[in-house]
């Protein structure tokens, strides 16, 4: 990694990391007239806690959260915002909640406070995405960048093990691609390697437990923070194009897709990576062939390793590849139709 010449863009986000930091939210909202709270019903207790502190008149709870942020839901949320005249958006939850807040901010230009309850990473980026008619449109805009992000381990500690595993691999994918991004830099690169190391350490701890322990939770949440940071700072490549295609165009579960395809995309890229990066990856993943380490970890943690196991149809492989190739993007290995078809066939069958 060249430290003599590089470009690096840092985003103006205030991060609050640590146990109990959710309690800072009322202070962050003190200048607000009314907050538009996006949170699924499972986070109802957190919203009640906030309404007790601020008074129910100062918040409106929007409970509908849907993966891939469908455009009809954005329209419905905007109508409710107009009705209640909220002046700040608060997203409590995973990437879908944060994604809805971003879609609203894209039009409203209102500030966002994000409080993740998964390891999605979306909260650290200026990336938005909206789905319509089977296609997911994404972009970058400074207006959707949260002004504050609260990382409170209390919000992730009760995640079911299955969700924690898939969400952690989602974060791991961001770190993998940030390290080999064409526009990476020494800061993002080294943060990514650190994040990979912490997530691998957290997942190794999770293997020996039936639930998310406090130590594993904090390691994974810290890794997810670095993953989101990298996701926002540099461009993503084949893994994310594949995940957005399978999710946005074929209705697949976002975190499950990120988990399943990761070792196959990693293996596809491997021989095209510089030797120095291969060495750094081997150290961070603590394995001679990191794609195999990823696949083994998924299996040991009970996660899915085949697209057929999560409902993807084999007949959709070729249509998916055509969508993946429709718009060019930088990638360590040249993107060729036959190679990508073979990659998805391996991912479909679960054979690395």
Among candidates 175, 181, 150, which has minimal Cα distance to 6? 181
DSSP state of 131: E
Between strands 35-38 and 135-140, the pairing is unpaired
Q: What is the mean pLDDT of the chain?
A: 93
pLDDT for residue 168: 94
Q: What is the pLDDT of residues 94-131, one digit of tens each?
A: 989 999 999 999 999 999 999 999 998 899 999 999 98
Stretch 26-54: mean pLDDT, rounded?
92
Answer with the residue of higher pLDDT: 144 or 56. 144
Q: What is the pLDDT of residues 235-245, one digit of tens each?
A: 999 999 999 89
Residue for token digits 């863009």? 9
Fold of 161-349: Dehydroquinate synthase-like, alpha domain (1.20.1090)
pLDDT for residue 203: 95
Six token digits for residue 181: 């991004």
Stretch 271-288: mean pLDDT, rounded?
96
List helix spans (H) across 55-122.
Answer: 71-84, 95-108
Six token digits for residue 55: 């008074």
Cα(227)–Cα(10) distance, rounded to whole angstroms? 14
Cα(28)–Cα(6) distance, rounded to whole angstroms? 35
Stretch 255-266: mean pLDDT, rounded?
94
Cα(310)–Cα(316) distance, rounded to whole angstroms? 13
Stretch 271-291: mean pLDDT, rounded?
97
Q: How confident is the model at residue 1 (pLDDT cuts 50, 70, 90)?
A: low
Fold of 14-156: Rossmann fold (3.40.50)
Pick left, alpha or beta for residue 192 (phi over 0 → left; psi -120 to 50 → alpha; otherwise beta): alpha
Among 14-28, 50-64, 141-155, 177-191, where is mean pLDDT lowest? 50-64
Stretch 227-240: mean pLDDT, rounded?
94
**Residue 186: is its pLDDT beyond 70?**
yes
Compute the Cα dihedral for 34, 39, 44, 45 and give only its sign.
Answer: negative
**Residue 2: is its pLDDT beyond 70?**
no
Q: Within a 10 A sphere around the Cβ of 277, how many other Cβ atoms?
A: 19
Annotated domain spans of the chain: 14-156, 161-349
Mind giving me the DSSP string for 219-280?
HHHHHHHHHHHHHHHS---HHHHHHHHHHHTT---HHHHHHHHHHHHHHHHHTTS-HHHHHH
């Amino acid at each position: 990694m060249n430290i003599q010449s590089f470009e690096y863009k840092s985003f103006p986000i205030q991060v609050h990391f640590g146990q109990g930091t959710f309690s800072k939210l009322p202070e962050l909202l003190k200048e607000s007239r009314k907050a538009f709270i996006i949170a699924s019903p499972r986070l109802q207790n957190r919203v009640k806690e906030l309404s007790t502190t601020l008074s129910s008149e100062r918040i409106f709870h929007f409970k509908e959260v849907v993966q891939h942020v469908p455009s009809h839901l954005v329209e419905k949320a905007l109508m409710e915002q107009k009705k209640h005249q909220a002046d700040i958006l608060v997203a409590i939850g995973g990437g879908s909640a944060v994604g809805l807040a971003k879609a609203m901010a894209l039009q409203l230009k209102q500030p966002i406070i994000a409080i993740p309850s998964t390891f999605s990473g979306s909260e650290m980026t200026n990336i938005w995405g909206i789905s319509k008619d089977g296609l997911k449109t994404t972009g970058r805009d400074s207006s959707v960048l949260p002004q504050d992000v609260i990382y409170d381990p209390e919000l992730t500690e009760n995640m079911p093990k299955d969700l924690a595993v898939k969400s952690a691999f989602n974060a791991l994918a961001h770190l993998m691609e940030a390290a080999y991004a064409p526009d990476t830099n020494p800061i993002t690169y080294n943060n990514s390697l650190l994040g990979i190391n912490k997530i691998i350490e957290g997942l190794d701890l999770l293997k020996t437990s039936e639930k998310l322990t406090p130590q594993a939770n904090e390691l994974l949440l810290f890794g997810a923070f670095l993953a989101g940071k990298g996701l926002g700072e540099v461009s993503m490549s084949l893994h994310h194009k594949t995940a957005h295609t399978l999710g946005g165009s074929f209705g697949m579960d976002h975190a499950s897709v990120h988990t399943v395809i990761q070792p196959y995309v990693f293996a596809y890229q491997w021989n095209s990576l510089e030797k120095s990066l291969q060495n750094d990856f081997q150290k961070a993943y603590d394995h001679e062939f990191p794609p195999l380490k990823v696949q083994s970890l998924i299996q040991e943690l009970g996660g899915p390793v085949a697209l057929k196991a999560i409902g993807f149809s084999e007949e959709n492989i070729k249509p998916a590849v055509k969508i993946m190739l429709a718009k060019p993007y930088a990638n360590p290995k040249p993107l060729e139709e036959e190679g990508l078809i073979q990659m998805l066939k391996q991912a479909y069958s679960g054979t690395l």
